Amino acid sequence: MIRDFAIVWSERDLLLSGLGNTTILSVLSAIAGLVIAFVLTPALMSKRRWLALTVRVFVDGMRCVPFLLFAYIVYYGLPSFGIRLDNWSSGLVALTVYHAAYLAEILRGAWVAQPREPIEAGVAFGFSGPRLFRRIILPPLLLAAGPVIGNQMIQIVKDSAFLTIIALPELTHAASSIQSRHYVPFAAFITAVFLYWGLCLVIEAGVSGIDRLASARR
């Protein structure tokens, strides 16, 4: 068994690049997903019913679809429409779009739970449109929803592992390669598991940092 881990150690570059790719993939799609959610959430709350309804259908639709199938559609299905993306782009697009829907719903939930008066004060003090959202509504939302957003980030990390199926060289894919090359399945995958755990602990530490910021403002 020690020998198995020695083999994994000898392949550490592969594993680390897998970890790096998982991190890059997760961070990029978390940021992009949040940015998209910043547009979707006000649309969900919009008084224009057709807009709210359209976005609602998209958000609920995504929440009913397994991520893996969505990723398949993006990777194998889009070429039917003449859109051909390589595995990196499809992986990123799939992760981003899918989780943007979840993040939008999370922010909407936090928004509904916010007291109305401070937002109204924003309007009364001359804020409107995107500036009202960005300066007055959004910051308390992010603070209030911090832990839930953190959970979603963990979900993003985990969903990125699905992308091994479209041969994206992320962490699980790296572990798979090592296992098939040297036949050390336990050592390879358990190492990957602990690396995922480490990533999630980092995210949780970040969340508790945000929570400290939030509690000073509550």
Partner 1 sequence: MTNDMAVLDVAGISKRFGDLQVLSDISFTVTRGETVCVLGPSGSGKSTLLRCINWLERPDAGQIYLNGDRIGINNGGVVMSDRELSRVRTRIGMVFQHFALWPHLTVLQNLMEAPVQVQRRPAAEVREEAMALLAKVGLSDKADVFPARLSGGQKQRVGIARALAMKPDVLLFDEPTSALDPELVGEVLLVMRELAREGRTMVIVTHEMGFARDAATRILFMDRGRVVETGPPERFFVSPDTERARQFIQRYAAG
Partner 2 sequence: MSAADVLAILQGAVVTVTLSLIGILIGLPIGLGLALLRWANVPVIARVVAVYVSVLRATPLVTLLLLLFFALPNVGIAIGPVSAAILALVMNTSAFNCEVWRAALMNFPKEQYEAAQSVGMHASLRFRRIVLPQIVRVSLPGLVNEMSLLIKVTPVLAVVGVVDITRAAVRIGAETYEPLPPFLVAIAMYAPIVFALVSLQRFIERRQLAAEAA
Contacting positions for partner 1 (CB under 8 A): 115, 117-118, 120-129, 131, 135-136, 139-140, 143, 216-218
57 interacts with partner 2 by CB under 8 A: no
Q: Which stretch binds partner 2 (CB under 8 A): 46-54, 64-72, 89-97, 125-133?
A: 64-72
Q: From the list partner 2, partner 1, none, which binds 135 (C-beta under 5 to 8 Å, kind-based)?
A: partner 1
Q: From the list partner 2, partner 1, none, which binds 212 (C-beta under 5 to 8 Å, kind-based)?
A: none
Contact indicator for 41, 104 with CB cutoff of 8 Å: yes
121 interacts with partner 2 by CB under 8 A: no
Biggest alpha carbon–alpha carbon distance for the chain = 69
Nearer to partner 2, 27 or 201 (CB): 201
Q: From the list partner 2, partner 1, none, which binds 125 (C-beta under 5 to 8 Å, kind-based)?
A: partner 1
Measure the CA–CA gap between 64 and 107, rounded to whole angstroms. 18
Q: Minimal CA–CA distance to 152: which of 81, 95, 218?
A: 95
Q: Minimal CA–CA distance to 165: which of 102, 94, 110, 62?
A: 94
Question: What are the DSSP E strand ranges found in 5-47?
Answer: none
Q: From the list partner 2, partner 1, none, which binds 14 (C-beta under 5 to 8 Å, kind-based)?
A: none
Q: Which stretch binds partner 2 (CB under 8 A): 84-92, 114-122, 134-142, 197-205?
A: 197-205
Measure the CA–CA gap between 27 and 170, rounded to whole angstroms. 13
Measure the CA–CA gap between 80 and 205, rounded to whole angstroms. 43
CB 210 to partner 2: min, Å: 19
Interface positions, 142-161, toward partner 2 (CB under 8 A): 154, 157-161
Q: From the list partner 2, partner 1, none, which binds 49 (C-beta under 5 to 8 Å, kind-based)?
A: none
Residues 77-106: x where in contact with partner 2 by CB under 8 A, - otherwise, as a string: x--x--------------------------
Residues 6+ apart with CB under 8 A from 110: 141, 144, 145, 148
CB 110 to partner 1: min, Å: 13
Question: What is the sign of the dihedral through the CA atoms of 168, 171, 172 and 173?
Answer: positive
Measure the CA–CA gap between 163 and 84, rounded to whole angstroms. 16
